[in-house]
Amino acid sequence: MNLNNIIERVSKYDNNLAKEISRYLNTRKYGLVYEESKPEFVRLPNKKVVTGDLVNILTPRGNADNKAKDKKDKNEKDDAKKYTRNWRVISIDKDNSKATLISLEKDQTSATANYDDLVAIARFDQPIYTGLTEVDRIEKGGDKPFDIVINGENFHALETLMYAYLGKIDCIYIDPPYNSGAKDWKYNNDYVEKDDAYRHSKWLTFMEDRLKLAKKLLNPKDSVLIVTIDEKEYNRLGLLLEQEFPNARIQMVSTVINPSGVSRGNEFYRTDEYIYFVKIGDSTPVPLHLSNDWVTAKTTGKDKLRWRPIRRQGSHDNRTDAYKEFYPIYLSKNGKAFAGTGAYLKPNENLKDAKVPSNVIPIWPLKPNGDEGCWQISRETFAALHEKGYTKISYSKKWGYTLKYLAQGEQKKVESGQFPVVGRNLNGDGSIITEDTQSDAPFIPGTQWRIPSHSAREFGSSMLNKIFPDKRFSFPKSLYAVKDTLKFFIANKPDAIVLDFFAGSGTTAHAVDLLNLEDGGKRQCISVTNNEVSAAESDQLTKEGLRPGDPQWEHLGIAHHVTWPRIKYSILGTDVSGNALKGTYDVQTDVKTRFASELLNAKTKKPIKRALYVNQKVSLDTELADKKLKDGFKENAIFFDLNYLEPSAIKANLAFDKIAPLLWMKAGSQGRIIQYKSSYDITDEYAILFNYKYIGEFTRQLKHHPEVKTVFIITDVNSRYQDLCHEFCDRKVYKLYESYLKSFQIQSLN
């Protein structure tokens, strides 16, 4: 049981004891134990540095980051330390040329630095203010909600999204850094090297901080967190997920993403990775129409109805385990029809004492060796199932009569129409006869996926290279792997909100748009990624004398150079040069189909009796068979940069436009974004009252717009807010204080 639940139960009887237990537990570490690497910092190259900011000093242009440990001379070491320290700005010259700094370390060393060499940093346990600036948008989707792309540090972006999406996200899909040691991610502004003794602890700290926020965004009633990972951290990730989501149901799938394998030296080739599914509330995968590639066992429930033996087999299958289920089932004299049941034998009665009618064949639940067993169902249940045609008689010379029935899961397949009933066996046992549509029956697959369309090379890299002929991103996920994974949980949610805060190349948004194309849904995808360049690009740009924050550097960042262009041009149906994309979204597989025509033996001229098959190409998703890439998607998308705001800007006429996108998101992410006005504004989706003196005109206008379901009022007077709630009780009304930006202060790590 969860410790928090125990404390809560104890508090009902003795509150003081509950507090003592809580205090004791707070001094102990339970579950996943590791060295937390806190506080966490992140650089903000696009923020203007002001007095009071935390900063790093950038190394001189053309130099890579210096490491004090690599310096032999004491003066060199002291000089190098200033590039690895965190500083606070004490003052800045009037001409913004020099700044005076003090170290955050215990020695509180002071220093001066060129203003242009400073880069602001954010510490995750201190309050900051964020906003969003619209950079670009695509509108092809009519009244659909916009896909959202945010360029920014994902921890702060998640905090920013909290206002609009708290408890509203249906699905989070993330592909976090795998911590390979190959400079694939940064912690506190430095690449985590393979030989870093705290590599795993840093990764766990990094993931834990973000998963805590993700948990708040997920719908507690029905949602899923999906995390992909490889062998380097899957064990630790599993423990971390159990720790952060103690009430969820967690399952892991192994999936082949590279059939040819990746070399691991003298070890086994790596061909697969792992997918964790964290199912919250009522979340569960739904059966889908899947190809035979998904079948991993002979019996899956996909290919045919499964008639189970009525006699219990396995554990608890003796007469003494369930004596009321030791009764005879009568068959007609010809053994083809059911003729009722007899009374069960009491524990002290013998089989030879049973009275059986003379005109029936009694079938008892006897085991092959003659021992007395028991049925799986009672007499009453048997009668009810027989009435529906859910019982059946089988006969073989070896085993004799075997009585079968449809269990609840199979009954649902019949009653839901997956196996339409076309008749009953009226000349025999009365069992139902179902239409031969088994190949189209939906099902839930096993935990081993080997799906050709999930190969990252053929359906990840090749897809991305169509949009970016210059190959801007390495190792993207297969578009179809992500679509299929999401589909198990949002196929029946056409208005689902999907979040990916490790968006990378933008595959998740592309997959959501493809799923909408497939079934006409209006799902929305929110993608968050930073604007880091790759390690190789960083080295090259540094050699060219460039640094983060320079336009040339930022242009090559993943958000601006890959994520947004991929989403934008997949919607437009062109590559980055404006050329129409070639091909379709169709994926085909080989299927063996029985040859229908009669064939003759060439020598004997007699019909060939054995079954013959021919290979045919069949579309995996018939809805996508004719969907051309050049047609793009009927979707809307918008791109934002995450901004860091100064407390001095927290005034209505200076800061509102930075938080305006969050109000737009809260209202449904449709239509235009309301910017600051001196009175009020109304769109087709939401309305904002900026100045209360316009309340009369605002109210009259709003009554002419019944389609507007969300209303914001900016006021410090609670009675005004209550009046508006009363006036529009059929709409959602929210209050923002006049110093409203304080409502968006970020400080979640306490």
**Are residues 669 and 662 in contact, defined by beta-carbon separation less than 8 angstroms?**
no
Q: Is the peptide bond before 246 cis (omega within 30 degrees of 0)?
A: no
| 704 close to 718: Cβ distance less than 8 angstroms | no
d(CA 409, CA 145): 37
Domain architecture of the chain: domains with CATH? 41-123 (2.30.30.30), 128-293+446-572 (3.40.50.150), 308-440 (no CATH), 588-625 (no CATH), 648-746 (no CATH)
The answer to whether the Cα torsion of 695, 697, 698, 700 is positive or negative is positive
Model confidence at 301: pLDDT above 80: no
Write phi, then psi, for 97 (nearest 5 degrees). Answer: -105, -40
251 pLDDT exceeds 50? yes
Structure tokens at 402: 């075997």
What burial letters (b/e) apply to 559-590, b meaning 16+ CB within 10 Å?
Answer: bbbbbbbbbbbbbbebbeeeeebeeebbbeee
Angle subtended at Cα 136 by Cα 132 and Cα 137, rounded to the nearest 5 degrees = 105
- Joined tokens for residue 749: 């790590």
* DSSP-derived secondary structure letter, 560: I
Q: 246-260, 322-336, 410-424, 590-604 — which is least confidently predicted?
A: 590-604
pLDDT at 617 > cutoff 90 = no
What's the token pair of residue 108? 């509180």
Share of the chain above pLDDT 70, in %: 90
How buried is residue 262: exposed, middle or buried, by Cβ count under 10 Å (0-12/13-18/19+)? Answer: exposed
Question: Is pLDDT of 438 > 50?
Answer: no
C-alpha to C-alpha distance for 27 and 590, rounded to whole angstroms: 60
CA-wise closest residue to 257 among 477, 58, 573, 485: 477
DSSP helix/strand/coil, 547: coil
Write b or e for each residue in 523-539: b if 16 or more Cβ atoms lie within 10 A of its Cβ, otherwise e. bbbbbbbbbbbbeebbe
* Placement of tokens 């019944």 in the chain: 706
Rounded Cα–Cα distance for residues 219 and 103 (Å): 43
Specify whether the CB–CB gap between 278 and 227 falls below 8 A: yes
pLDDT for the residue 285: 95
Backbone angles phi, psi at 3, to 5 degrees: -60, -35
In the structure encoding, which two tokens stand for residue 49, read together? 């540095």
Q: Convert 640-674 into a string of H (helix), E (strand) and C (coil).
A: EEEEEECHHHCCHHHHHHHHHHHHHHHCCCCCCCC
Segments of 287-444 assigned E as strands: 308-309, 329-331, 338-341, 361-363, 391-396, 400-405, 421-424, 432-434
Rounded Cα–Cα distance for residues 433 and 417 (Å): 13
Residue 72 — pLDDT band, cuts 50, 70, 90? Answer: low
Query: So what's the pLDDT on residue 68?
Result: 43
Q: What is the pLDDT of residue 651?
A: 52
Alpha-carbon torsion, ordered 589, 592, 593, 595, to 10 deg? 140
Cis omega (within 30 of 0) for bond into 39: yes
Q: How far apart are CA 101 and CA 114, in angstroms?
A: 11
Q: What angle do CA 377, 380, 384 make, to 5 degrees?
A: 95
Q: H helices of 110-226, where?
A: 154-165, 199-217
The bridge status of strand 361-363 relative to strand 249-256 is: unpaired
Residue tagged 């169709």 (tokens) = 586
List, as one string, the DSSP characters of 52-73.
T-EEEEPPPTT-PPP-GGG--S
pLDDT tens, position by position, 540-580: 998 999 988 889 989 999 999 999 999 999 999 999 999 99
Tell me the pLDDT tens digit for each residue of 103-126. 988 888 899 999 999 999 988 877
Q: What percent of the chain has pLDDT over 90?
A: 56
Only one residue has tokens 């999204």, namely 161
**What is the residue whose two structure tokens read 């045609």?**
389
Measured between its terminal Cα atoms, the distance across the chain in Å is: 26
Asked whether the predicted pLDDT for residue 1 surpasses 60, the reply is: no
User: Which pLDDT belongs to residue 649?
Assistant: 61
Alpha helices in 455-523, H assignment, sequence order: 456, 462-467, 479-490, 507-519
Beta-bridge mates of residue 218: 169
Report the alpha-carbon distance of residue 611 to residue 157 in Å, rounded: 60
User: What's the pLDDT score for residue 396?
Assistant: 86
Q: Tell whether the model's pLDDT for residue 518 goes beyond 90.
A: yes
Instruction: Kindly give the interhelix angle for 234-244 and 199-217, rounded to the nearest 10 degrees.
Output: 40
C-alpha closest to that of 506 among 534, 526, 486, 535: 526
Separation CA 185–CA 538 (nearest Å): 13
From the list 522, 323, 351, 337, the residue with the least C-alpha distance to 425 is 337
> 39: which residues sit within 8 A by CB, 6+ positions away?
123, 124, 125, 749
Residues 247, 5 contacting (CB under 8 angstroms) = no
Q: What is the pLDDT of residues 167-206, one digit of tens each?
A: 999 999 999 998 887 777 777 777 787 777 788 888 999 9
CA distance 633 to 514: 8
More confident residue, 453 or 82: 453
β-bridge mates for residue 112, sequence order: 100
Tokens of 673: 């974004």
- 217, 569 contact by CB (below 8 A): no
Cβ count within 10 A of residue 408: 7
Work out the mean pLDDT of the chain and round it to a whole number.
87
Residue 652 has pLDDT above 50, yes or no: no
Pick the residue with more confidence: 623 or 312? 312
The C-alpha atoms of residue 317 and residue 275 are separated, in whole angstroms, by: 38
Count the Cβ atoms, other than its own, within 10 Å of residue 240.
21
